[in-house]
Amino acid sequence: MLERLLNDHPGTTVTILVRVKGSASAEDRVRSLLKKPVFAAWRDKVGAAGIEDAVKNRIKVVEGGLTSPLTLPKDLDLVIHSAASVSFDDPINESFEANIGGVVNLYESLRAAGGDPRVVHVSTCYVQGLRKGVAPETSLKHDIDWRAEYASAFDAHRRIETESREPHRLRTFMETAQAEHGKEGPQAVAKWSELARLAWVRSELVDAGRTRAQSLGWTDVYTLSKAFSERAAEELWGADHRLSVVRPAIIESALKHPYPGWIDGFKVADPLIMAYGKGQLPEFPGLPDSILDLIPVDYVVNTILAAAANPAKKGEPEYYHVASGASNPVPFHQMYENVHEFFTKNPLTDRRGKPIVVPVWKFPGPDKVERGINRLERRVRAGERALRILPKTKGSQATLEKLQKGVADLATLRNFVSLYRVYVETELIFDDSNLRALHDALPAKEKADKGFDISAIDWDDYLQNVHFPAITKLTKAFSRARQAERAAAQPTRKAELPPRGDVLAVFDMEGTVVDSNIVQQYLWVRSAGLRKAAWPGEVLGMLASVPGYLRAERRNRGEFIRTFLRRYEGMPVSRLEKIVAGGYGDTMRRHTSHEALEQIRLHKEAGHRTVLVSGSIGLLAKPFENLFDDVVATTMHERDGVLTGYLTKPPIVDESRAAWLTRYAKEHGADLAASYGYGDSHADLGWLEMLGHPTAINPDPQLTKEAQKRHWPIHHWKRGIRSPKRALMDGNPATTAVSKTSQPENS
């Protein structure tokens, strides 16, 4: 709209309402806006001087947003209102605040300014609601009190917020957080409990909006709030001023202007189209002969300008459906045939670069699709549960990641079904008589460029050669940007590790550097130091204690470590040192990952400070001390050279490790945002997320899920090194600093 006004109407002065965003001023945001591709032809025409002249003289900026009263100039001739929240599933209070409250603030501010501008109010065709047949271009026929509904939405917000704080609700949130995030520590449990509460509040408010909309005869909270905003515009402005209401259908990329395929981000139907191209929609409910009412964005802009140039009479609002269903319909089956043909000829590729084969839809009906989704969900959940209890292997981890991606894809499918179903099952046709009359009234010489003759659009050509290529290009650009961002965030090769002296490389020991846990370490110690006759009794004693250890592990990892390490009670320190220096050390070396050794070496060559952190006792990490600048572990209390089974300080796990890392970085002048971390357990999440370059190594199911959600790299380091020789563990004297095994002070 702004490009058209600047380019085709050089005599106009345009006032724009702009929110301040961060440190950027409103004028800064306008300058950035004018750099977008949509303004390219205009920039070329006017040159740098013309751009600067437009910023200083043609474009006036009013700082502010529609959610609060505005101070508007009195000399406005035309107001175009097109700001809205367009989400189908916003919480009811948020949708109403943006779409109804924004309209109220705008028109009350216009009245306060004292002028008499003509207004073009941009709405949507779908304010017509859940109905069948032909919908006329007139004011909506209902007698609902929009003011009462507006107030009720905020009452719902207050009520649901209050309910979310009731003890029985809070206990549920805490129990869920403890089950899923207990290993991260008590503060993590509290954080996730509160996030669960907020998610519950949002879910309830989303359901309140959807349910209230459908109970009143609308598809969703978006169309309901836009319908009420029309009624507010009619009452607050249209009753005694000039008001035109433009109702577009599903807006998609430009047919001609500013160039074919122009689009700024994904619009309504595009996520559905691209999800199909990615193979995420094996089937979809919908009536194959229902109308998917598309309209190019330049036709909408041209209609708004034509309506502004031909204003309604005072007190007699006019309405225009910018839609294709009446004059040039696109049945849903035609859209499907086009999208199937396009992605068959131009397939997207998966992460491995292989072409994605798009599914064939049979339109089986909504009930069968729903049953299919439920069946798939049960299978995926069952597989996920089975893999959680099996030993971690490269194969099981790859299968788990695939299943978790399946869970995400099913969530996508269910979300699309929920959001789009009513739009692909509609039997509603939007009358466009007023729109056609407005187009016919245009001067003949302007119709080709500024007209909106819907009947002239060749939809097959538009979809195959204009729209699908445009959004596919956009998707690929987003994908390349994400890949570049991830690559920059997690360099792994020597050439990509920046040489810096203020960078840490923090490695978790158990499950990351070495394929072991504290139970295995204990068994290795005992097997190297016990007489063979005593070994069966030790194993039986361990087995008898397993249930208690598992309960402790589920409750709190620190409690488990304390409980298990009591088994070292009575062992002479000198004896343990001898065992570690002998058979135990060799066993640890055999279980050390070659990839871990290589990654440590690369960090040291880049000048990074390498740190090994273990929840176990420091003596058991001694075989690794030459590899690292620091080995940070737990120390055990001893009396007269004998271990008592008690720790000198709490173990360095979950939140205590994050607290230690904060202090350690400060002491060594390290930049955590530039530092690296490698961990395998959900318990490592708290400290990994503090670092600029976290990596999940052979992760457990919970960490796998979080790493995928946060787009962290996931690596599968092989079990054991290529050679058990001690030389691999000796470190490089030229790059290895003096090492130490330390017990950090608790922060």
Sign of CA dihedral 230, 233, 235, 237: negative
In the chain, where are the structural domains located?
494-742
For 159-198, where are the E strands, in sequence order?
none
Provide the pairing of β-strand 504-508 with 294-296: unpaired
Compute the residue count for the chain. 747
Is the pLDDT score of 282 beyond 90?
no
Q: Which one has a higher pLDDT value, 377 or 310?
A: 310
Q: Give the residue-averaged pLDDT of 659-670.
A: 94
Measured from the Cβ of residue 672, the count of other Cβ atoms closer than 10 Å reads 19
Q: pLDDT tens-digit profile of 152-206?
A: 999 999 999 999 999 999 999 999 998 888 878 888 899 999 999 999 999 999 9
How far is 418 from 378, CA to CA, in rounded Å?
19
Measured from the Cβ of residue 126, the count of other Cβ atoms closer than 10 Å reads 29
Q: Give the residue-averaged pLDDT of 636-663.
A: 88
State residue 34's pLDDT score.
Answer: 94
Let me know the angle formed at the C-alpha of 296 by 291 and 297, rounded to the nearest 5 degrees: 130
Is the pLDDT score of 547 beyond 70?
no
CATH number of 494-742: 3.40.50.1000
Tell me, rounded to whole angstroms, the distance of Cα 390 from its chain centroid. Answer: 30
Q: pLDDT tens-digit profile of 108-122?
A: 999 999 999 999 999
Q: Give the residue-averaged pLDDT of 357-382.
A: 77
- Confirm whether pTM is higher than 0.85: no
How far is 473 from 251, CA to CA, in rounded Å?
18
Is the pLDDT score of 516 beyond 60?
yes
Give yes or no for a contact between 660 and 652, defined as CB atoms under 8 angstroms apart: yes
Give yes or no for a contact between 615 and 557, defined as CB atoms under 8 angstroms apart: yes
Q: pLDDT tens-digit profile of 395-404?
A: 666 676 666 6
Contact partners, residue 92, CB within 8 Å, separation at least 6: 153, 156, 157, 205, 206, 208, 209, 212, 221
Q: pLDDT tens-digit profile of 700-721?
A: 888 888 898 888 999 988 766 5
307: buried, middle or exposed (CB in 10 Å: 19+, 13-18, 0-12)?
Answer: buried
Q: Residue 98 has which token pair?
A: 């943006």
